[in-house]
Each structure stands twice: as C-alpha cells, then as structure tokens.
Structure 1
Amino acid sequence: MSPTARAIGSPTNADAPSPDGKFNQFLDYNSGRSFDYRDLSGVLNRQAPAIRETIPPLVSRVDKDGNEASGVPSVQLLVPLGTYTGWN
C-alpha cells in the first residue's frame, strides 16, 4: 500500500510522527543493453545512467501502537514484558 499515514493506519497520537513524505522513491536506471541487472555483470554503456521509471515504495499496515501488523510478529511483541510502542 502507499506510504501515507491514512493508508497504513498510523496512530493519530500527537507524539507519533507522520510518515507522509518521508519515504524515498526507488529509481530504475538504464545502463545500456550490455549490462545485466540480474547479476550486475556486463559493461555499462551509459554514463551516467538514464532513469527509466520511478518505482513507488510499498509499506505494510501498522497496529494501534505503530508496530507492523503483517508477517510474523517478533518475540518482543508476543511476550508481555513491557509496553512496546512505535513512538517511544
């Protein structure tokens, strides 16, 4: 999903910084036909490489504490030893 506070479900706490505008765009470069991007081998025919396209970043959704809600949760979040909030 897009990296905006509303899309990821970021906490609306005044202490929590908003992620809007803080993610970098990924650039896809064109270094020439004899350069292989899969294994980074070959010859760079273009110096400086031209930018083919801009790839938008994708981020996962977060819970009410600002921790990622998708994937395998970390042990620190599963064991109730303390409070782990995203804005501390």
Structure 2
Amino acid sequence: MAARHVKTGRGALASEVRGEVETEDGVLVIRRIFVHHRVAVSENVRSVVEEVHNAYAMQCPLYRTLHRCIDFKISYELTPAEEGGESGGRIANSA
C-alpha cells in the first residue's frame, strides 16, 4: 500500500496471523493459516486498499511458496482513520 501512497505507519496497519496444526502419522503438520489485516484509512483510499488486498497474495514470496500445500484465509478490516479525535465503525472483507 505504501507504493500507492497509502499510509501504513503509526498503527495504521496491524495484522494478526494464526495457524492450525494437525497430526499426521505422529508428526505436526501446518494445515491452515489465517491472516487478518486491520487498516485505518480514510474512505477516499478504500478502493486502493481493496485492490491491493485482492492482488498482494501472489506477490508475497511466502504465499507463493506455500499456497498449494497450506490453506490460507486472508481477510481485512477497514477502520476509518481518526479525524478530529473521532473513530468510526469497521468494514470487514475476506478473500
């Protein structure tokens, strides 16, 4: 998003990653990875965030390496950037 001039510093972008592991023949195996991004942005860059979210996975080396053997669930949530000390509601999306 920084390449498209969307601010991601100072808490504007936060991510949570969670994995699910199963046992296969007595060995722990990662089966699923859930990634959830929270992005605090103004409404005028919403379309840029959506475009980046829809395209970034195939540009990520880790995803490109593992997506055929591990199920990834990637989602994001838009939270309006604080303006004048107010914060707004959230809009959630997933891919």
Whether these two folds match at TM > 0.5 is no
TM-score by length of 2: 0.21
TM-score by length of 1: 0.22
* Max Rg structure: 1
- Bigger relative contact order (CA 8 A; separation at least 6): 1
More strand, by proportion: 2
